[in-house]
Each structure stands twice: as C-alpha cells, then as structure tokens.
Structure 1
Amino acid sequence: MRQELKYLSVFLEMEEIMALLHVDFFSDVLGMCMQMDVILPQQTKGQIGMEGKGNKGKIPTLYLLHGMSDDHTIWQRRTSIERYVSDLGIAVVMPTTHLGWYTDMAWGNRYWTFISKELPEICRSFFANLSDRREDTFAAGLSMGGYGAMKLGLSASETFGMAASLSGGLDVATVSGWGKTEEEKRYWQSVFGDLDKVENGSNDLFAEAARLKESGKPLPKLYMWCGTEDFLYEQNVHMKEHLTKLGYELTYEESPGDHQWKYWDEKIQSVLEWIMKNRNN
C-alpha cells in the first residue's frame, strides 16, 4: 500500500503539466452560450519528458483559430499544442466561432465583434494575469482561421501585435467563385452579403492592409506559410507580394504540402518559434 501511494504521488506530479480549462460562457455580442479551451502556463517540477514554465508577470496570449470544418477542440485533437507551449510561458485561447468566417455576417451573427473585442475582454476578466498589451497579444489560425488571424492583425492592430496564417483563405474578394451550387452561394451571401461588393470592403484583407498602412496606426508583425500544392497557394503568394510591396514586416515560408493537418502540426511549431523570437526582440 505504501508503495502504491508513492506511485500515485508521482503520477499526480506528472499530470501537472499545464492548466487546461474547458470554458462555457455567454456572449452578449452573439446572444448565446459559447465555448473555448484555454491553456495556461504552470511552473512545475517532477514531470517526465516535459518541462512546465510558469510566468510571474502578465502572461502573453495566443488566440488560436480553427477552420471551417472544426471547433474549439480541434487544435488539441490534431496537434500537440499543449506540449509545444509548455515551456514558453504563454497562454493559448482556442474559441469556437462556427462558420462565420470571423466577420459580422450579412445575415447572421457578429463574429468579428465577438472575436476582436468581446473575447479578449472576457478572457482578461476571467484570467486577470493575462497581459493586455498588444505586444503580448497574438493571433494564429489555419484555413478560415488563417483569414481570421490575419484580419485580427490588419483590422484590429491596436489589440493584436502579431498574426500568423497557415494555408489561409486570404482573398475573399474571389468568394463569388467559390459557390458551386445555389446552396453554397446562399451561404457565402449570408457571410459576406453582395458578393460583387466584397472587394475593397471591410472583409477584404488586401484592402485592409493598404488602409492600415496609410492610417499611421501600429502595424502588426506577420507570418505566413502555405503548401505549394494547396488549393489556396496562389492566394497566399498574392498576399505575400501585396504585403511586401506595402512594406509590412512579413515572414513568409512555403514548402511542399497541401491542405492537411500533418503540415499544420509541424508549422504551428514554427509559428510559436517566430512569436517568441519576435517578442524577445
């Protein structure tokens, strides 16, 4: 019995890797209950195969966004994100945002207002040790979430100091060509409204990048990766050229690959390295 208790004690110490919280909360902006998973850093000892790094000051925060087919659980189910951040001393917020494309939908909910304004306020009220500095607030995502992350960087740069896109659907001005059926077209219209007027509107990242550059507001540091066989590859190349021409601080990478989690699992580690390097600088 004494030996069994000893093993139990060691097991419990091993489990104290990071704090993982499954949060159900109410959004006034959306008028409904929402979900997010949150990883908080924890200083630990006695772990096997990992280190847990705490943070005595205000904690930097990464808002990690999902793609069209997914929800707030997907980054933990498809990657080892908790292990990747365990020794970085940062928090990770993974919210559900349904199929709203991180916009205030033409016929639907105000997901943009939720993700860009309400969610950071809610998180900082729940977890008072999260930093409210833009230099400590980051966004990243894949596919639809890559669009959302870049939009946070370009359209809410007063809050988000860095943004990273993996295989992002970045050129939504071409959305009128995405709908192959009447049902699909109705969906895109519910998100963006008149599809002939998306270009140069508030959801057009190319236009938002130009407007932000001209505004004199702080510019975000940006990271992009896309696989060369990805169906969104050309969009990413065009965005890279556009941002480079405008003079943004952009880290761009590409490598063989298509639209799959085995690449995103690898490249989110590159995103984390990029965040830590640029934050330290």
Structure 2
Amino acid sequence: MALLTMNTESKYLRSNQAFSVILPDMPREEDPREFYAKHRDLPVVWLLHGTFGDHTDWVRKTNVERYAARKGVAVVMPSGLNSNYVNWSRFMLGYDMYDYLLHELMPLVYNWLPVSSRREDNFIAGLSMGGRGTLTIAASNPERFAAAAALSASPREFSDLTPEYFRSGDVFAARLEGMVDNAGGVEAFLASEENVWRVLDENAGTGVLPRLLFACGAADDYVMETLRPFQAHAQEIGLDAEFLIRDRYTHEWDFWDLAIQDAFDFFGLPDVDVDMA
C-alpha cells in the first residue's frame, strides 16, 4: 500500500492540519504509466482515532494498512484533537471539526485522490471518541455513507443532565459537561447532532440511515454500561444494526485491530487478489 501524509491549511480549523491516507499499490505486473493514468473510483473508509490520538494512531497501533490492501480500499485518517468530531467555535480562533470533515476534507479527498464520492462506496468507522464521532457524523449525514462502524462506543440516553450528575465522578461526566457548555446549554445539546440517541430514534425504520455495526470488548469496558441498554432500545425501534461483542477484550488496541477487520467485512468490501508479501 501507499501511505501518504498530507499537510494543508484548514479554513474550518484555522491552522495547518495533517491527515494520513492509505491507497492501494500498483500491482507488480502492471506498467506504471498505464496504472497511474487510469481513472479509478476506489471505495473509501473514513477512519477516526480516539481520545488523545491523532492521524497516525491507526497505522502505528494496528495492521490496518495490510487489511486495506486485502480489500483494495482507500483509508483516510484525519486528526481531531479531543473534539468529539464536532464544532468548537469558541476554542482559540475556532476549531470546527464537524465542518472540516464534511465541507473541507471530503471535497479535498474526492477531487485530489482516486476515490469515489458515491454513497455506496463510502464508509466511516472509529474507536472510542472516534466511534462517537462516527455515529454523530453518519446519523446526521446518512446520504453520505453506506455503512458505519462504532468500535467501543455507544449512543447514550441523556435523561439526567444536571449539575449533580456533572459532579458525580462518572467517567464521562466532566467531558459531557464541556460538550453541553460548547453546545450552548442542555436544551441546545439535546437538539444537536451529538444527541445520537435522538437522531436514531427519529430515523429508525425509515430506510435513510446507513447500516450500523457496534463492536465492543466486554471485559471491564465501561462502554458496555451504555451499549447494552442501547442494544435493547435498537431492537425496540427497529434499527438496522448489528452488535459484536468479544468477551476476552476490553478498551484496547488488541481489540480494535480485530474490530477494524470485522468492520471491513461488515461494509461488504470483498477481498482482492493482491501480492502482500
């Protein structure tokens, strides 16, 4: 595979940005002039990192490059700080990650690289914070993606957003308080795309949503506390979703290395005949 790192100035993030791209290599038996002259619309997976990560995480900590080679798929990996992949307009000069992904990075990739912009060729996945970002982006922009995979992430039912909860010591409470403040208060947050539970409720059974995969390691992974209730709720509302639990794993890279392979299979990406020696 070809591994690219691109550096560009971003309008929406108000700074220079780097992102990584995996592209299929030229087969050894092909002529370079013919191969690189071909027009091609590669399927593309938009792959999001978790908290504390950046665009290098997936390449450094998993074998995603080999898995992408097996499927003949392009993989685009942006950096998102700890933004939850939403807009933070009051952060420094503004850090509008949601707008950057949809209105800047995707047009750049579609027009500069040999990938397809068709819905049926576009997929999105991410781990932990990147899984929440995957759900936020895919649920609110279903016309862009055929399928999405949330790895170690789950929608939450926000039924008790009170000052007492924010002081509770819950693993998610301090972060959620910042998310609510960024949205402009509880009501604005509940009405926003970050309230994925609501968005899925409103669209389940309509046929507009992408197919969804939820994958999680069960052993001491705090995400299971919200994933189990959501799994029951998904069945009640007729959501087109699959759930994959690997009991021997927790919130860890060993699990995500397996789960991204499961995601590629769930997306329906066929194996291609490549020399991976």
**CA spacing shift, 1:172–1:244, aligned 2, 3 Å:** closer
Deviation string 1:77-133 (CA, Å, 9 cap, x unpaired) is: 110110111121110000001111111236332211112332211111221x21011
Matched, 1:132 2:124: no
Q: C-alpha separation between the residues in 2 aligned to 1:87 and 1:148? A: 26
Residue 197 (structure 1) shift = 5.1
Whether the 8 Å CA contact 2:71–2:269 is kept in 1: the answer is no
Of 90, 101, 112, which aligns to 1:107?
A: 90
Count of residues in Structure 1 that have an aligned counterpart in Structure 2: 252
Distance 2:70 2:136 in 1: 28
For 1:270, the equivalent position in structure 2 comes to 262
Contact 1:147 1:170 in 2 (8 A): yes
* Residues 1:78 and 2:61 aligned together: yes
Amino acid at match of 2:222: F
The counterpart of 1:224, out of the listed 204, 214, 218, is 214
Q: How does 1:1-281 map to 2 (within 5 A)?
A: 18-45=1-28, 57-105=40-88, 107-108=90-91, 109-127=95-113, 129-171=114-156, 173=158, 177=165, 180=169, 187-195=178-186, 198-213=189-204, 216=206, 218-228=208-218, 229-256=220-247, 257-276=249-268
* CA-based RMSD: 2.8
Distance change in 2, residues 1:151/1:183 (3 Å): closer
Supply the distance in 1 between the matched residues of 2:98 and 2:161 (Cα, whole angstroms): 18
TM-fit CA distance, 1:190: 4.9
Identity of aligned residues (%): 28
**TM-score, structure 1 length as denominator?**
0.80
Question: Is the 2:154–2:214 contact (alpha carbons within 8 Å) kept by the matching residues of 1?
Answer: no
Shift of 1:56: 6.6
- Say which is worse superposed, 23-32 or 192-201, in terms of deviation: 192-201
Query: C-alpha offsets along residues 197-249 of structure 1, whole Å, 9 cap, x if unaligned?
Result: 533433101001122347x5722011011122211112122232333322222
Matched AA of 1:21: L
Gaps of 5+ in 2: 30-37, 272-277
Partner amino acid, structure 2, of 1:266 = L
TM-score, structure 2 normalization: 0.81
